[in-house]
């Protein structure tokens, strides 16, 4: 009997808490114009971000291709040294990453 009374008190306490939360929550749905404006603004933001990222990508690609072509055609020795350095660096990075993964297991 005592457990049922405690259970009822707990239930009433929870109901009061939820009721106070329900009163504070605004359940109104925004208008269709708000949603349309929100999506239009978001679309513009994403379009601007895409254009900025595309411009940065094209500039970096041009710089990399220019450096690549200059070293390949003007200084073949530097190109070979650069390729060796990249290969060694990638190998070291892969080895370190693999060792960290193995130690984690």
Residue 1, pLDDT > 60, answer: no
So what's the pLDDT on residue 71?
80
Angle, CA of 92, 94 and 97, to the nearest 5°: 105
**Residue-range domain boundaries for the chain:** 31-74, 76-105
Q: Average of pLDDT values for 11-24?
A: 82
CA dist 77 and 82 (Å) reads 9
Q: Answer for the pair 90, 101: CB distance below 8 angstroms, yes or no.
A: no
pTM recorded for the entire structure: 0.49
């Amino acid at each position: 009997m005592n457990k049922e009374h405690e259970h009822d008190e707990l239930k009433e306490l929870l109901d009061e808490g939820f009721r106070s939360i329900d009163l504070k929550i605004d359940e109104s749905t925004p208008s269709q114009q708000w949603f349309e404006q929100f999506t239009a603004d978001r679309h513009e933001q994403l379009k601007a971000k895409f254009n900025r990222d595309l411009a940065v990508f094209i500039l970096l690609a041009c710089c990399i291709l220019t450096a690549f072509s200059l070293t390949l055609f003007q200084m073949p020795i530097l190109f070979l040294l650069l390729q060796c350095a990249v290969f060694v660096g990638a190998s070291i990075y892969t080895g370190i990453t693999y060792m960290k993964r193995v130690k984690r297991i």
